[in-house]
Structure 1
Amino acid sequence: MLSFLAARQTGLDDPIRFRRAESTRRVLNLELNSDRDVAQIHGNGVNTLDIEVIEGRYMLSGGSDGVIAIYDLENNSKKPQYTCKAICTVGRSSRHVHKFSVETVQWYPHDTGMFVSSSFDKTMKVWDTETLKPAEVFQFEGNVYCHHMSPIARKHSLVAVGTKDPKVQLCDLKSGSRIHILQGHRGEILSVRWSPRYENILATASSDSRVRIWDVRRASGSLFTLDQYNGDKSKASSEAVNTAHNGRVNGLCFTGDGLYLLTTGTDDRMRLWNSASGENTLVNYGKVSNESRKGLKFTVSRGCSPEFVFVPCDSSVAVYALHTGELVTMLRGHYNNVDCCEFHSDYQELYSGGKDCNILAWVPVVRHADVEDEKATSARGGTQSVANPAFEDAWSSSDED
């Protein structure tokens, strides 16, 4: 790192190259932080997490007990050992609390003054953060498995909602009503994700083994259905029998640039797709254990080279190299199955929640040997090498996505 800093200061190296290299090094050194605890609020499993992107300071959690908590991730005590405390909760004593399991929570992408939660009590609630009261409540006929707001949308304020009904619901935050449905799936909708690249593109996953890509401006149906065998994409979506997995598809996640889409299914497989063409890239991640009957919340790193995927896998979090499928490491620390994880791109940290009611913080560890190597390398005027040769391109590539 010291050699990178010297090269950056003298103008010999691109700052982007240094930033990506350091981000990659930090992700490769993630470990369970023994000095940082997250207060245990939930009496049952933790289903969902979300970190706001405005300040990168506050984290939402939702649990099987119906409780919602907001944590302050900042170390206000300035002590080496500290606990991220819940600054407020919507607990069982609140008359506004969800009656059953909270499946998804999400901060409003442009303002921390609002967040949205959805639950098995057949509701989606839009909350005022200041008062912790619902500003809007949407009622549905079946359990709500998931919802998602676009991280980039400026021309619409739609929330995509997946329920036990095979129709994807689109709710408008401005009007407070359901304005449209997307028809095409034949099973319950387990995951929905807006593209971080195009504000009108939506991906949906279902128990019918299919993943559909939609342009919500079109009324004629989905753009295409993902086919694990890379069949003919020219067929009309209504005629397509393509399947993305040989089981329920319960997880979706776009890469940060929106160029690729990751899917997980109960066939114990994870697949990487070109989001524009729908092509299966055929990256082999091996067996990715997945027995969840609900949505699986997994995440992708940001600003690394290569990028990494963090996937709940039984009682661990599996870390894969995005484009090669290589299993980098298994993060072990939970006592029961992990249901969700959230990557903090500001600090290259990871938070995971599971059925053991715990939220664990995984942070980059600076090893003494690494520091000594950096000092020796800098003294020789050489270039820094990384411990894992499989990721040397992180230190040699100066390209930015």
Structure 2
Amino acid sequence: MITILKYFRFSLGLILLFSIGYLNAQETTNPPAIINKNGVWLKGDLHVHSRHSTESSNNSVSKIINFSKSVGMDYLCITDHDNHVKGDVAHHTWADPEFKSDSLLLLYGAEWTTTRGHANVFSDKPYDHQRLFDIRDARDINIGKVKKSLGVHLSANHPSGKDNFGFSYDLVQSIEVWNSAMWPKNANAIMIWDDMLSSGRMMTGRGGSDTHHGVPTSSEKPGANTYQAEFNYVGTPTTWVFAKERNLKAVVDALDQGKASVSSNPFAPRVEFYADFKANGKFEMMMGDNAISNGKPIKFQVQLIGNKLPEEQYTVTVIKNGAKLNTFLVGGEIPVLQFTDTPDLKGRTYYRVTVEGKNTDYPQVPKSAALSEKMVALSNPIYFNFNPDF
């Protein structure tokens, strides 16, 4: 009789747990989307090469800018290799008469190309890149002093592989976690990003097409390399930033602060990620924000905004401290979900999300979707108990 009672209690417990889990799953679906009126979402590409990089001869600045405008980009950073112009990008890329636009925000930057790896510089104003070029073989501590004096944002490029980033990650504010349309090759970059986050660094994850070869214009014949632009060109992937205003400084500030997400192309939906830290239904935290945990459960909201595929079911995976916490299926006109979890009371905790599903077509770069496979978007983290100064 005792055995039967124990079995009954155990079975009832399983039923209750299953029921609670089912109800919670139902409660997470289809809440209203959050309308964030504190800024504006801007999309762009942070890693593009023009003819001022020696292997990009058919990719003029005007071609890049006109293409970017045609696909609705808001900002762009042309990042030519500094060793191709002996560090003097200011008198090459930026001095190019074609480096101008009445609508596209053009950041100042270059790819810092060294024997220890590559990094991109992002700035809202011209800066003396020659100073960085001249110390590319110096000790990290001295490089850091020059970078700080220039007031620029330094970002680690394609951190693993042939041109891995071999400097201290204390030098950079962001890391290229999604390089080019070929998503699978970024697995090691994601692993490094999670390692850096786990070490307490509040490091922004961003994308970059790293495109070198341009789409031929109507007056040009396709060259030996231009076919590559059918697979990878401006916007594969696209980095979205939540800027306070539509200007260059606000774009760089958003990158500094982690107010960013990445999508497979300019027409794919962006992912937004929020947290209701005060439990008042206002979701006052978003990607890049940091709070001191009070040990209580927190409700999070994930939403896909933009060109969703209404019939598509998207898989949203929640990553907590580098490990999968949960997976959800969402769909509809505005795919939105909520989940609840409790950050550690004393230790550091971060959450980020990835979105997989069928990719939105990118007609201008028709073969890119196949390389992106099912990866649609990823968010930056929301942080708890991080000390950015430690």
Q: Judge same fold: TM > 0.5, yes or no.
A: no
**Scaled by the length of structure 1, what TM-score is found?**
0.29
**Scaled by the length of structure 2, what TM-score is found?**
0.30
Higher helix share: 2
Higher strand share: 1
- Which of 1 and 2 has greater Rg? 2
